[in-house]
Amino acid sequence: MMKFATITLNPAIDKTIITTETLKLNTIHQCSTTIEQPGGKGINVAKILKLWNINANATGLIGNSQDNIFQKLFKTSNITNNFINIPLPTRINTTITDGKGQELKINDKGWENIHASPANIINSICSKIDNQSVVAICGSLPPALPKNILTQLINQLHTKHCIIALDSSKDALLAGCKANPTIIKPNQYELEDIIGFAINNQTEIINTIKHLRKKHEIIIATFGNDKAYFADAKHIFIAHPPKVKVCDTTGAGDALLGTFLAHYFPNQTLNQHTIAMSVATASASVECLSTATPNKTRIQALSKLVEIKKLT
């Protein structure tokens, strides 16, 4: 049986503020509801893996403020908590939404200083991960960590024969890609960061994916709520999600990745069922406020509405 782990180096408390009226700039709004949930992209992926009855080993760095919120999640979701505690507050990411599709996101950068060397952090994290695990490394890096820490982390995990899925951004993504992770999940702008120029049409998208799959087994490229591309060594698929009521987009990409990992392994075959379930989970996720776990029945229903076409 395959083992799964997630790594989150910059977790957050996801705070969602819901307004009573349509969200507008330069306007005073009344708050109807405030929700606080433990967040961080790797933690979100671990929650989705658990939805598919996969117990994930969640590790990384975590602050000591509001620790009870995270501990409650790990206990109720049966997620193995192997986080390294940092004696500093966990950052807060704030989403202001009207629940009707209009939202404003404000993300804290994270820790400015961590009194631990990158080498010690890498060694501590790797010691908590079993050999031959599927490891999802997700999210941004706090300013306190050097960008090349992901190159070093992935290389060390390769010595343990782990399969790596990378979902990061900016310099951290570029650094991680240098270590050739098995799976990458960039959005449109992150894809452009990897190749160094703007993508203007589908032909350029396909050519970019063909280039990247020389280094990566799977490329998942998401383009907002419009479409997503899934590619392996032989085929490229495009998937269009069903139309749903968007309440909150927080964690949608994490929901997609978590379901993809749960269905792609252990056979490692890219098929339309895996694609449909992955896209449907993201669609069901945006119907929920904050990072609440979507309903399985809803995901299965939406999966039948995902439009998939094989491009190559």
Mean pLDDT of 141-146: 96
What b/e sequence results for 130-144 when a residue is b if at least 16 CB atoms lie within 10 Å of its CB, and e otherwise?
A: eeebbbbbbbbbbeb
pLDDT in tens, 55-92: 999 999 999 877 788 999 999 888 999 999 999 999 99
pLDDT at 108 (0 to 100): 95
pLDDT at 144 (0 to 100): 96
291 pLDDT higher than 80: no
pLDDT at 93 (0 to 100): 93
Neighbouring residues of 309: CB distance < 8 A, sequence distance ≥ 6? 237, 238, 239
Q: What percent of the chain has pLDDT over 70?
A: 100
CATH assignment of the domain containing 68: 3.40.1190.20
Tell me whether the omega of the peptide bond preceding residue 11 falls within 30 degrees of 0, making it cis: no
pLDDT in tens, 176-208: 999 999 999 999 999 999 999 899 899 999 999
Give 1 or 117, the one with higher predicted confidence: 117
Instruction: Write the DSSP symbol of residue 236.
Output: E
pLDDT in tens, 252-270: 999 999 999 999 999 999 9
Give 159 or 18, the one with higher predicted confidence: 159
Strand (E) or helix (H) holding 75: helix 67-76
Nearest to residue 211, comparing CAs of 191, 185, 227, 228? 191
Contact criterion met (CB below 8 Å) for 205 and 192: no
Confidence of residue 98 (pLDDT cuts 50, 70, 90): confident
Nearest to residue 38, comparing CAs of 81, 98, 4, 5? 81
Mean pLDDT of 4-32: 92
Number of structural domains found in the chain: 1
pLDDT at 103 (0 to 100): 87
What residue numbers bound the domain in which 59 lies?
4-310
Contact criterion met (CB below 8 Å) for 294 and 288: yes
Instruction: Write the DSSP symbol of residue 279.
Output: H
**Torsion angle defined by CA atoms of residues 190, 195, 196 and 198, in that order, rounded to the nearest 10 degrees:** -70
Contact criterion met (CB below 8 Å) for 129 and 162: yes
Strands 183-184 and 218-223: parallel
